[in-house]
Amino acid sequence: MKLTMTQQILARKLGLDNSQAEQQLKAGSLILVDVDTALSNDVTAPVAVDVFNKSGCSLCNADCVTFVMDHFTPNRDIKTAELCKTVREFSKQHGVNNFFDVGEMGIEHALLPEKGIAKPWNVIIGADSHTCTYGALGTFSTGVGSTDIAAIMMSGKVWLKVPSAIKFNLKGKPSPYISGKDVILYIIGLIGVDGALYRSIEFDGEGVDYMSMDDRFTICNMAIECGAKNGIFPIDDKTNEYTKVSCNATFDALSCGDDEAYEKVIDIDLAAIKPIVSFPHLPSNTKFVEDVKEEIKVDQVIIGSCTNGRLSDLKSAAEVLKGRKVAKGVRTIIIPGTNKIYLQALKAGYIETFIQGGAIVSTPTCGPCLGGHMGILASGEVAVTTTNRNFIGRMGAKDSYIYLASPATAMASAIAGKLASAQQLED
């Protein structure tokens, strides 16, 4: 087939057969597409609501709109409380049922798949750059600005430029302690933060079978960190096992096109990937942990976020911590992605392991990832975190330092009091 997975999804939305799609969906083509879900949060939704209210338009489809209060909730201060109030009142006025607040909230990119709102073959547009997460389910999902979301709220449609695509051919079997976070950090380090600028990154090969759904969510979540418009995995048996639970449905298969459909094909040997970390101040500034010679002392560890707040992430961290303690002076903060994940972790004993090991457990929130609350860094402090960005000042003071890592590596660093991998702890 001469169509990428992204083109196949857009073709289905537009009612095009393969031959028509090859002509009409060439890279760079401009298309107008129906949107299945328009997503925004407590930071971006108030702007969209303000633009919408000033337009005088009617809400096109309340079921298309999803609001998740997750960045500053529970509210940090009066200003953030007012922002949430604006969205809460708009949702009541317009009958927006997919409004998630304290008590039923979660980090948006963990919550929407769990709730069955994100589905395969969908087009999902979000006023958040990490909306590309849902490509793990075989969706076309990407981030836009708040005013674009307002336009979708009015029309139910979005203008898109069809992206060209890069195929990553995953080969081999990953070693123990290697997760989706290590894979995507390796890829970003390989191609750079602009290596896939406005391209779709699509995953193929026998190595896909070794990627759990949680791994796939993590990998697609960070597609934007190499400049990609979206990331996407095939719709396969693992996808349908997930959707049987999330939305009580299964979906048609989706697979990569022939190599000629892609701008380039890059082979990734999963067996060659070792625990990896991104040094300040770019996600592409990667090194294998075993190659780091200097001692990097750690003040804070964060395990959570839309990238790594899922159950398997908490399991990985708990298994490393079991029977150990975090080093004195290392603030270790665990943030489950949703209330459901929190409860599952509680029942599995992970929460007890965290608390007994000297960590704290937070309500679901984006909080520290964007320097919002629940873990702000002071001047000169160092954090190892499972979040997705390590830009200057991202988590607090402009002269703080952020190292991105997997949950296993982050927890190993909390225990060692310095940057370390779980393998090094075992040694």
Three-state DSSP class for residue 67: strand
Q: Which candidate, 327, 324, 320, places its Cα nearest to that of 423?
A: 320
- pLDDT value for 105: 81
- pLDDT tens by residue, 73-116: 888 899 999 999 999 999 999 999 999 999 888 999 999 999 99
Topology at the third CATH level for domain 278-426: Aconitase; domain 3 (3.30.499)
Equal fold, 5-271 vs 278-426: yes
pLDDT of residue 156: 95
Q: What is the pLDDT of residue 46?
A: 96
Domain edges within the chain: 5-271, 278-426
Q: Phi first, then psi: what are they for 247, rounded to 5°?
A: -140, 15
Question: Residue 310: which residues within 8 A CB-CB, separation 6 or more?
Answer: 110, 214, 217, 218, 337, 341
Q: Which fold has domain 5-271?
A: Aconitase; domain 3 (3.30.499)
- Report the chain's terminal Cα–Cα distance, integer Å: 48
Work out the number of other CB atoms within 10 angstroms of the CB of residue 327.
Answer: 17
Q: Identity (one letter) of the amino acid at 160? A: L
Cβ contacts of 332 within 8 Å, gap of 6 or more? 300, 301, 303, 326, 354, 357, 358, 359, 360, 411, 414
Measured from the Cβ of residue 351, the count of other Cβ atoms closer than 10 Å reads: 20
On whether the CB atoms of residues 69 and 43 are closer than 8 A, the answer is: no
For the chain, residues with pLDDT lower than 70 are 1
> H/E/C letters for each residue in 21-61?
HHHHCCCCCEEEEECCEEEEECCCHHHHHHHHHHHCCCCCC
Q: Does the model's pTM come out above 0.75?
A: yes
Amino acid at 222: M
The pLDDT value recorded for residue 320 is: 97
Quick one: how far is CA 231 from the chain centroid? 10
